[in-house]
Amino acid sequence: MKYSTKPVEVTAIQWNEHGDHASVTPLKTKMANEICPRCRKLWTDHGVLHIDVSYSICPGMYIIAIGGDAVAHITDSAFHATHVSLDELKTLVQELERE
């Protein structure tokens, strides 16, 4: 079955390092000097996002919040494929209204 996202305003923060988001803690692993297969960066550069369960998060991923609660994490490319800033959206609407 296919789905489309509902037009819901979200807050998104791109996580790049520890301290960027309060819900992310340092990843504690014995593989500290190994490379992540997802992003090709060291595991020491990663964090753990604590929402309903814990998720490892790569540098550059976006943390999406609805109503102040973190609900998901998503890669940079997927985020930009599925989201647009409200400023960009206003510009697009204005351009359509001129046509």
The full 3-state SS of the chain, as one line of letters, equals CCCCCCCCCCEEEECCCCCCCCCEEECCCCCCCCECCCCCCEHHHCEEEECCCEEEECCCCEEEEECCEEEEEECHHHHHHHCCCHHHHHHHHHHHHHC
With beta carbons less than 8 A apart as the criterion, state whether 86 and 9 touch. yes
Domain residue extents for the chain: 11-98
How much is the pLDDT for 99? 78
pLDDT tens, 1-59?
A: 887 777 888 899 999 999 998 889 988 877 778 899 999 999 889 999 988 888 889 99
14 against 99, higher pLDDT: 14
